[in-house]
Structures are given as C-alpha cells and as structure tokens.
C-alpha cells in the first residue's frame, strides 16, 4: 500500500493541465465553495522563465485562497497550491515540496511527478484529474494514482480545448470518471464527501521504484544505478544528456529514464529523436550551402587568374552542392514528424 507516513485525513486533489488549462481551471475554481474539504494542487504547464499570475487569477475567480507554496509548507484543506514556473510541485508526508529535479517529457513542473508523489504519500485519499493539454504529461502519473487506490478523473476529450492529454490517458487506462468541465465540480463535491476507497496493496518492488522516481524529481539520487534494476537497459540515449536509457513498463505504457533522471514516454522520446534528426538535416543543409559558397569563391578566384576551365569546373561543383542543399531542404519541409501521436484511421 502507499506510504504509511502521511497522517492527514482529508482528500488531496491533484490536477494537471497544459494548453487551455488556465480557462479550464478558472471555470472549475468558480464552482468550488469556501471551506472546500480538500487540498488542491495544480500543475499548469508554463514556460520556465515566465511570470505566473495563475494563483492571483484563481483567487479572484473563486472562494478559495490560492498561491505558489513555499518549500516544505504544510498541506492544508481548503487551499489551492500552484506549481511555480520551472519547479516541480511534490507532496511528502504532510507538507509540500518545491524542487528543481530533472524534467519529465521536457516539463518542469511535471504533472506525472506531482501525481506520483501524491499517490505514494496519500494513496486512496488522492483524486487525480487530467484536463486539457497537448502531448501526454499526466498519463503515467494518473496510472499511478489509480494503481495505488486513488480516483482517476479525466476531462472528456471532446470537451477539452486541446484533447491530447486527456486522450492519452484514455489510451492507457480506464478512468474512474470521464466528465465534462461543467460536471467536474459537482463530482468533486460528491467524492470529497465520501470515505476514501479501500487502500490497494502492490508489490514492494513497485513501491520502491515509485519512491525512487519521486526522489529523482526532488533532485536526489542523481546518477543512482538502482533505477536500472527496475527496467531494461536499452541501446538508446537520452536526448537531454546523452546518457543511457532504461525502459520502464506500466502495463501498456512504456517510459524511459536516464541515469541523471530525465524521463520520457515512448511518444515523447520519439518526438525528441525526430527533432534531433531535423536539426541534423538543417546542419547538413547549412554545410552544403557553405560548400557552395566556397566553391563559388574559388571559381571567381580562378576566373580572375585567367584559368576558365578550372573556374568552370568549380562552378559546376557549386551548382551540385546547391541542388543537394535544396533536396535536403525539401525533405525537411515535406516530411511528417514521427512523434508517435498519430493513430491509424478506423476501417
């Protein structure tokens, strides 16, 4: 079962959102009453160096106080805690952690990291919610919430501004509730008024792996080889640090982590590799353009030296380099990104 160290008895709601998330969160918070009997923790994706006004917006929209928490601040019901930019928001025992551990799927804060820490610490008292957003941050974390006995809630993709995040969760798990945004606040009112579900027991090794991944998000256990015992070492390298990647499997979901802690889903890793290929193709095009320019310069030099045959041969080579550069460019702009998000059409 989940960590026995947490002594709080109130529900803990963890929410992940990305594109379209601010408006969705404002709509939700407007419908939550003062004295709401649960703590609400939010990861909304935001650029690392942006200024986040989300707590102020949420305070003005509803009846609950909202803020960016301080590291090791106590967790209390009736409050909304928003992850600060470029920091993970984690839960441990009866307080909040604000850390700068490695990114997951290129995100910090990470929805997955918040969800895992909440599930590990609060078990069946956790309610995880995935809202609108692109890509698939939150899928693994919500799987962990459900795995440890918590409640998994997903916004109906047809109701979401960006349906990729909720759609991803539906491909890898069956949520306990699939709702529209308008249905969410009433559902939370019912769930928080009910006793927590029975705690779920899972193998000690799986708990240890979840705990290690939480430690990585805290910025601890960097370079720890223990992670490799929980998965299969692969021939792939981390796009962020070029270290070896270990493959982790959560039922149908495949993920990867490197020794320094960067995490990727299969789709996110494929997108990173595809971007790397594109960058290398642009570098090849630029090298061909440099070759063309050098050959033209040499051709002009030999033309001035009254050696027209050499100048003509060099100019021919320059034209060949230009054609090759153009061919590379056309391939770059015409090819479809292999990001793993497209699904075969139904017959």
**Sign of the dihedral defined by the CA atoms of residues 71, 76, 82, 83, in that order:** positive
Active-site residue identified among 45, 87, 88, 262: 45
Contacts for 247 with CB less than 8 Å, ≥ 6 apart: 231, 232, 233, 234, 254, 255, 256
Q: How many C-beta neighbours within 10 Å does residue 315 have?
A: 17
- Distance from C-alpha of 141 to C-alpha of 119, rounded to nearest angstrom: 8
Catalytic entry in 3, 18, 140, 168 = 18
How many angstroms separate the CA atoms of 299 and 318, rounded? Answer: 9
Beta-sheet strands, E only, within the chain = 12-17, 39-44, 66-67, 80-82, 88-92, 95-99, 126-130, 151-155, 177-179, 232-237, 244-250, 253-258, 263-265
CB 129 within 8 A of CB 184: yes
Catalytic status, residue 137:
yes
Residues 6+ apart with CB under 8 A from 191: 11, 127, 151
Q: Which residues contact 225 (CB under 8 A, 6 or more apart)?
A: 259
Which of the following is catalytic: 137, 168, 215, 262? 137
Structure tokens at 244: 């070896």
> Based on the number of CB atoms within 10 Å of its own CB, is 236 exposed (0-12), middle (13-18) or buried (19 or more)?
middle
Alpha-carbon span 347 to 344, nearest angstrom:
9
Which residues face 8 on adjacent strands? Answer: none
What DSSP line would sit under 120-158, residue for residue? HHHGGGEEEEE-S-SS-TTHHHHHHHHHTT-EEEEE-GG
d(C-alpha 123, C-alpha 251), whole Å: 19
| CB-CB neighbours of 261 under 10 Å | 27
Active site residues: 18, 45, 137
């Amino acid at each position: 079962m989940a960590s026995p160290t947490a002594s709080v008895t109130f529900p803990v709601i963890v929410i992940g959102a990305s594109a379209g998330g601010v408006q969705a969160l404002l709509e939700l918070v407007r419908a939550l009453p003062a004295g709401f009997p649960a703590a609400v923790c939010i990861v909304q994706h935001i650029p690392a160096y942006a200024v986040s006004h989300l707590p102020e917006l949420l305070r003005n929209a509803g009846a609950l106080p909202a803020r960016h928490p301080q590291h090791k601040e106590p967790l209390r019901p009736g409050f909304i805690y928003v992850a600060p930019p470029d920091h993970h928001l984690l839960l441990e025992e009866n307080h909040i952690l604000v850390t700068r551990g490695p990114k997951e799927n290129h995100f910090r804060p990470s929805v997955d990291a918040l969800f895992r820490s909440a599930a590990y610490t609060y078990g069946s008292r956790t309610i995880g919610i995935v809202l609108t957003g692109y890509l698939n941050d939150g899928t693994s974390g919500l799987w962990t919430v459900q795995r440890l006995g918590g409640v998994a809630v997903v916004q109906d993709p047809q109701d979401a501004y960006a349906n990729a995040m909720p759609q991803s969760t539906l491909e890898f798990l069956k949520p306990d509730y699939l709702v529209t945004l308008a249905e969410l606040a009433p559902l939370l009112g019912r769930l928080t008024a009910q006793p927590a579900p029975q705690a779920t027991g899972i193998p000690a090794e799986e708990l240890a792996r979840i705990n290690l991944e939480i430690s990585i998000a805290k910025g601890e256990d960097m370079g720890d080889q223990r992670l490799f015992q929980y998965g299969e070492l692969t021939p792939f390298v981390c796009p962020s640090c070029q270290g070896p990647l270990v493959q982790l499997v959560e039922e149908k979901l495949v993920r990867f982590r490197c020794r320094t802690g960067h995490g990727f889903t299969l789709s996110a890793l494929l997108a990173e590799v595809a971007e790397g290929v594109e960058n290398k193709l642009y570098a090849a095009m630029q090298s061909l353009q440099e070759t063309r320019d050098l050959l033209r310069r040499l051709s002009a030099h030999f033309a001035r030296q009254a050696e027209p045959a050499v100048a003509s041969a060099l100019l021919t080579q320059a034209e060949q380099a230009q054609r090759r550069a153009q061919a590379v460019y056309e391939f770059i702009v015409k090819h479809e990104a292999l990001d793993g998000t497209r699904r075969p059409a139904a017959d």
